Amino acid sequence: MRTARRASNMEVPSFLRQLVKETEKMVTFFFKGGRREPGADDEYFENEEEVGRPYLERPILEKDTAEGGSKWGVNYGMASMQGWRAQMEDSHTCMPEMSDALPDWSYFAVYDGHAGRTVAQYCSRHLLDFILDTGCVTVNEDVDQVKDGIRDGFLNIDRHMHTLVRNETWDHSGSTATAVMISPRNIYFINCGDSRTFLCRDGQVVFYTEDHKPINPREKERIQNAGGSVTLQRINGSLAVSRALGDFDFKEVEWRTQTEQLVSPEPEVYELERSPEDEFLVVACDGVWDAIGNEELCAFVRNRLQVCDDLREICTQVIDLCLYKGSLDNISIIIICFDGAPKVTPEALQQEAELEHVIEQKVAEIINMIRSRDEEPELLYVMKFLASEDIPGLPPSGGISCKKDCIIGAYQKYAAAFKSLEPMDIGGSDDST
């Protein structure tokens, strides 16, 4: 089936790839209206002299992607990118068929590490096993029992990692975790920290998880009861999340239980009965939510599903959109589609083709205008000019930034065409004949 333009199919010359990388900062600045101060959304305040610069001079844009599906109709796409961060600390788990004993169950999770990657990676490999080892998740599906098993699995793996930290050489990292467990009857939403998951049903966000921040009244009360404080919206002025796995420096209050520490490893778990109107789930780290809201992302994904049947490609488009909206964090996202998700339609493809034709024409006009002034057309200028134009039909919440592949393709085509028309300078010629 024909889908919308994909970056992976474009043959972009090396000079243009380098140009795009060199102008990435400027493009980010432009679309965001200015970069945020480093540290604005860091989980930890960091001393650059002690731990090195938390940000790179230029973002790492390469993406890891994956896709898959189950025999009973759940399909997913995943993508992640290091971005501006000095290290990639995100990890993930994608299991469309959860286990041999539960083949018609699925489990998807994103782990957003901070101050290191060890906890996030360990949880991506072992958290589901700790949940299943409780024996509470069974084919019979007692909802309350499943929720207890998920909660106990989190507490058990955190307790186990705490032991490893004491006996082995581990970093001082922590990790948020947001996940969904899907049974034939229910969707279980699991969240510990400030990553987030939402469900789109019949075109609307009908449920999303709550971010665990120190300033939330319930979280603040627990922190203060454990002898801590909330300063600059952080625990003891340092940590910006109030629930996480790991972070054992914040879990040493001896007179408090595991769930009453400064940082709690206890997840919130909610269940929602499945419906034929369920369309898709989005599971993502806060590198996404720093840049775009639930409803905006829902509208963007629904729009892209009508012109692209590759979930990996849609995930990479979301990542690029968040980058251009100013996200400075690692970015990871999983999109899980049900049978009720929007499908590619000829009408939507026609509208997309018409939109890209308009953009290509505008790029040609801009380059022609620049060359008429005997100036060299630059990609950055073309992007800035297009962003100031009113172009109907752009993807909702995406704007012109999410059509950069179309812009780059048109720029390559028309800039090269104008270059080929330049007169050749033949040395030694004159007009005195």
- Phi then psi for residue 129, to 5 deg, are -60, -40
The answer to pTM > 0.75 is yes
Tell me the angle at which helices 346-372 and 404-420 cross, rounded to the nearest 10 degrees.
40
114 strand-pairing partners: 174
Query: What one-character-per-residue DSSP string does 49-101 give?
Result: HHH--SEEEEEEEEEEEEEEE-TTS-EEEEEEEEEEESS--EEEEEESS--SS
How far lies 45's CA from each of 42, 97, 129, 237, 255, in Å?
A: 6, 39, 33, 8, 27
Q: DSSP 3-state assignment of 287?
A: helix
CB 331 within 8 A of CB 286: no
Residue owning tokens 């200015």: 34
pLDDT at 40 over 80: no
CA distance 323 to 318: 9
CA distance 201 to 413: 41
pLDDT of residue 251: 96
**pLDDT digits 0-9 by tens, 280-321:** 999 999 999 999 999 999 999 999 999 999 999 999 999 999
**pLDDT digits 0-9 by tens, 376-416:** 778 888 888 888 888 999 999 988 888 888 999 999 888 77
pLDDT of residue 370: 85
Higher pLDDT, 28 or 334: 334
**pLDDT digits 0-9 by tens, 142-172:** 999 999 999 999 999 999 999 998 878 788 8
Longest CA–CA separation in the chain, Å: 101
Ranked by mean pLDDT, which of 192-196, 362-366, 424-428 comes out on top? 192-196
How far lies 399's CA from each of 32, 226, 367, in Å?
A: 12, 46, 21
Q: Which domains does the chain have, with CATH numbers?
A: 1-35+345-420 (1.10.10.430), 39-342 (3.60.40.10)
**pLDDT digits 0-9 by tens, 250-266:** 999 999 999 999 999 99
Segments in 102-142 forming alpha helices (H): 118-132
**pLDDT digits 0-9 by tens, 74-114:** 999 999 999 999 999 999 999 999 999 999 999 999 999 99
pLDDT of residue 330: 97
Tokens linked to 204: 């609307």
Higher pLDDT, 308 or 27: 308
80 strand-pairing partners: 64, 332
CA distance 345 to 308: 9
Q: DSSP 3-state assignment of 148?
A: helix
CB 108 within 8 A of CB 97: no
pLDDT at 24 over 80: no
pLDDT of residue 418: 62
Cβ-proximal residues to 244 (8 Å cutoff; 6+ apart), any chain: 114, 174, 175, 176, 177, 192, 193, 263, 265
